[in-house]
Amino acid sequence: MAKSSNQKLKQLYLLKILSEYTDETHALTTRELIEKLSEYNVNAERKSIYSDIEALNTMGYDILNDKNRNHYGYYMASRNFEMPELKLLVDAVQSSRFITEKKSRELIGKLEKLCSKYDAGKLQRQVYVSDRQKAENESIYYNIDGIHEAIQNDRQISFRYYEWDSNKKMRLKKEGQRYLVSPHMLIWNDANYYLVAFEGESGIIKHFRVDKMVELSVENAERQGKEACLEFSSAIYSRKSFQMFGGEEVAVTMLCEESMVGVMIDRFGKEVSMRQTQPGWFRVRTEIVVSPPFFGWLAGMGGKVKISAPKEVAEEAESYLKKVLEQWKE
């Protein structure tokens, strides 16, 4: 009998079957493996199954034959990703606001192929989350790829940048004119991707939400502002700024209740300057990008964190919060 064209791919089909249909709690006997192979129009005998599995193990795959099981047989004992690792990756995809709903489903589908069909079902149940706010800009993935390409090749990029209006419509900023910047790095902050770039027109470092960038293009011009960008630390900047708002960078001293120690370390890192001033209170000194979100963060502490210096920042915070309160009274 003539061999089918699939016969030459027998080991690959066998590996596919073991990957999809077996795990530590689901094994396939030799007879079941032969039946599965026949579905791909591949003929096999018991001896050839043994030799093929031995060859796959020699290639580095971990296929075991457990004869102590109630349903004994062959199974894929280990994979590149353990189940807890896949759950972690899937949850990261699902919870990321910058990844659209469509792309989330596509990425999770690809991750499911890294485990058996039985574990894939567990992944689906693990990550079902409804009504999470997701980005709508499908081009964000190409934006990220273009930005990395520009940084690697030392090139500038141009793009249009939009914002939302009160009618929930996307409106291009600068009347649709293109931004031309020299990309430096990408920052992950507050569930969003930001591009840190040097803008030649203004001569300063700016940041842009990547999901609000459209029609991104890598230009031929070489990047500018490299010296200014070399002094920029993404980790330090993320700790100093609140919600990536710009503002004047000031050394701020805050007086905090002792219960706020964990909050301060989580926000500013273990290296932040802290000193106990009196029983139940301690002082924190750190660089802050002073902005409305910073004042809002202070208000959220419920009076357990107060600005003690400089006086100008304390007065600015008081003025801002009074203005907000007056607006609520109207």
Task: Write the single-letter amino acid at 264.
Answer: M
Same domain as 281, residue 213:
no
Tell me how crowded residue 317 is: count the other CB atoms within 10 A of its CB.
Answer: 20
Same domain as 151, residue 175:
yes
**263-312: pLDDT as tens digits:** 888 888 888 889 988 888 999 999 888 888 888 888 888 889 999 999 99
Task: Write the single-letter amino acid at 147.
Answer: I
Omega before residue 84 within 30° of 0, cis = no
The last residue of one of the domains, among 206, 231, 256, is 231
159: helix, coil or strand? strand
What domain count does the chain have?
Answer: 4
Cα gap 295→138, rounded to integer Å: 34
**Domain annotation covers residue 60:** yes
The last residue of one of the domains, among 231, 261, 284, is 231
**Domain annotation covers residue 215:** yes
Cα gap 292→175, rounded to integer Å: 26
Cα gap 102→115, rounded to integer Å: 21
Does position 241 have pLDDT exceeding 50, yes or no?
yes
Q: Which residue has the tokens 């994979």?
A: 79
Same domain as 274, residue 298:
yes
Q: Of 181, 185, 179, which is closest to residue 204 (Cα–Cα)?
A: 181
| CATH for 178 | 2.30.30
Residue 308: φ, ψ to 5°: -105, -20
**Domain annotation covers residue 118:** yes
Which pLDDT does position 325 carry in this prediction?
79
User: Euclidean distance between the first and final Cα of the chain, in Å?
Assistant: 89
Helices (H) then strands (E): counts for the chain:
12, 12
Which pLDDT does position 155 carry in this prediction?
95
Q: Of 290, 186, 171, which is closest to residue 241 (Cα–Cα)?
A: 290
311: helix, coil or strand? helix
**More confidently predicted of 192 and 21:** 21
**More confidently predicted of 85 and 141:** 85
| CA R_g for the chain | 28
Does position 313 have pLDDT exceeding 80, yes or no?
yes
Which pLDDT does position 137 carry in this prediction?
66
Q: Are strands 179-189 and 155-164 parallel, antiparallel or unpaired?
A: antiparallel
Same domain as 88, residue 71:
no
Domain with 251, as residue range(s), is 239-329
**Domain annotation covers residue 135:** no
Query: For the chain, what percent of residues have pLDDT higher than 90?
Result: 28
**Domain annotation covers residue 320:** yes
Q: Which residue has the tokens 């330090």?
A: 236
The last residue of one of the domains, among 194, 210, 231, is 231
**Domain annotation covers residue 134:** no
Same domain as 266, residue 246:
yes
Same domain as 243, residue 311:
yes
State the helix-helix crossing angle for 30-38 and 46-58, rounded to 10 degrees. Answer: 90
Same domain as 62, residue 11:
yes
